[in-house]
Amino acid sequence: MASSADVQRGLQDVVALESRLCFIDGKLGRLIYQGYDIRDLAERSTFEEVAYLLWYGKLPTGPELSDLTSRLGALRTLPPALAEMIDRFPADANPMDVLRCAVSALGLYEPAETQPGPHAISGALRLTATMPSILGQFHRRRKGLPPLKPRPDLSHAAYLIYALLDRVPTGPETRAMDVDLILHADHELNASTFAARVTASTLSDLYSAVTSAVGALKGPLHGGAAERVVDLLQVIRTPDRAAEVVHSKLVRHERIMGFGHRVYKVEDPRATILREWSRRLGEAKGDLHYYELLRKLEEVVHREKGLYPNVDLYSGSVYALFGIPTDLFTPIFAVSRVTGWTAHVLEEYEDLRLIRPMAKYVGTVDLPYVPIGQRT
C-alpha cells in the first residue's frame, strides 16, 4: 500500500505524460506552443495559424492557411437536427451546459468522425468551426431572436463576435478577440485538457473527450474565473474601494478570482499580453473603467497576498468591453481551447496508454457484512 508521502494531492508536480504541444516555464513565466513563444504568436500570428500549428505541428504556408480558413468557414452551419435541439433547450440554461450538450449531440450526426485515430482531425475542425454558431444560436434564442446565417467569409474571431452580437466587428476589435483566442488555445495538462486526454486514453472518441473537457472547464477554479472577476469589479465599483473589498474577502478565506496559478510562480505571460489589450480596447472605446479597476486590484492583491494575475484577470474585461454577457465568458474560453483539447486528443491517439492512476485507500477493511434487516 502507498505511504502518505506518495500521494500528490491534485496531482501537483506529477509529470503524467510526454507532449510536444505546449511548454510552460512557471519560474520564468514563459509559454510555448509547438516551439513558438506565445508573445511572438500573439504579436504576429492569427488564431487560425495557431490552430494549424497545434493540429499539424508546424506553422502553415499561405495555401495551407487559406485551405484551413475556408474549411473552417464552410463548417459553420449546424446540422438542422442539432439547431432544432438547441431551440428546445431551456432559455435560462447555463451556456456551458448548452455547449456540453451540443458538443455531445454533434457527435451523433458525424459518426465517422467519432472513431479514434488520426482522421479525428475532421472532428477537431468541425467542433472548432461550430462552437461560435452553437453559442450564437443559443444566445439569440434566449433573447427571442431567430438564428443568424453563418458567415464563412469572416475570420474565426470576427465570426465569434458576429455570432454573439449580430454585428461585424471593427479591425481593432477583431484583433483583440483574435489575440485573446490565441492566448487561450492551449495550456499543457490543465484540468480540462487532462480530462480530454483521460477520456481519449480509453480509446473513446473525440466528441466524448471534448464533452469531458467542457465539463471540467466550467468550474470556477478553472475556466469559470473570468466571469467572477467581472462580478468582483461590480462589487468594487471604484479603485479606492479595492483594498477594503479584497481585505474583507481574504479575512473570510475567500479566493480572489483571476489570481494565482498551479504552475506559474511569476506573472502568467498571457495576463501580461491581455492587460495591454484591455488597455488598448478600453482606449479605443473611451472606457478605461475596467482597466483602472483591475490595475488597482492587482496592486492590492499583490501587496496583501503576493499573488500574480493569471489569464482570467483581464480576459473578462475584454469581453465586457464588447458588451458580451458574463455567462458567455467561459464558453468563449472553450471556443479557443477546443483547438488545444483536440490536438491533445490526437496526440493521445498517436501514443496511447490508458491513463489510470491509483488512490491511497484510507477506509477500513474486514467489516462484517450485516443483513439489511439487522442494520441500525
In whole angstroms, how close is the CB of 151 to ligand ACO at the nearest point?
Answer: 29
Q: Which is nearer to ligand ACO, 341 or 349 (CB)?
A: 341
Judged by CB under 6 A, does residue 258 bind ligand ACO?
yes
| Least gap, CB of 337 to ligand ACO (angstroms) | 9
158 or 273, CB closer to ligand ACO?
Answer: 273
Checking 276-279 for CB contacts under 8 A at 24+ apart, the result is 277/176, 277/179, 277/180, 277/314, 277/318, 278/314, 278/317, 278/318, 278/321
Q: Give the residue with the Cβ less far from ligand ACO, 72 or 225.
A: 225
> Which residues, other chains included, contact 190 with Cβ-Cβ below 8 Å and sequence gap of 6+?
222
- Asked whether position 255 contacts ligand ACO by CB under 6 A, the answer is yes
Residue with cell 468541425: 126
Catalytic residue, from 222, 287, 302, 327: name it. Answer: 222
Which residues from 292-321 bind ligand ACO, rule CB under 6 A? 305, 307, 310-312
Grid cell of 157 as nine digits: 474571431
- CA neighbor of 104 nearest in space, from 91, 116, 114: 114
Residue 225: CB minimum distance to ligand ACO, A: 4
* Residue 7 binds ligand ACO (CB under 6 A): no
Cell numbers for 107: 457527435
Catalytic (active site) residue 187 = no
CB 275 within 8 A of CB 246: no
Closest to 352 (Cα-Cα) out of 201, 244, 237, 221:
201
User: Total residues at the site for ligand ACO (CB under 6 A)?
Assistant: 19
3-state secondary structure of 102: helix
67 is catalytic: no
Cell of 362: 484510507
**Is 205 annotated as catalytic?**
no
Instruction: Sketch the per residue contact string, 189 through 228, with ligand ACO: x for CB under 6 A, - otherwise.
Output: -x------------------------------xxx-x---
Q: Which residues are catalytic?
A: 222, 261, 312
Which residues here bind ligand ACO, judged by CB under 6 A? Answer: 10, 190, 221-223, 225, 255-262, 305, 307, 310-312
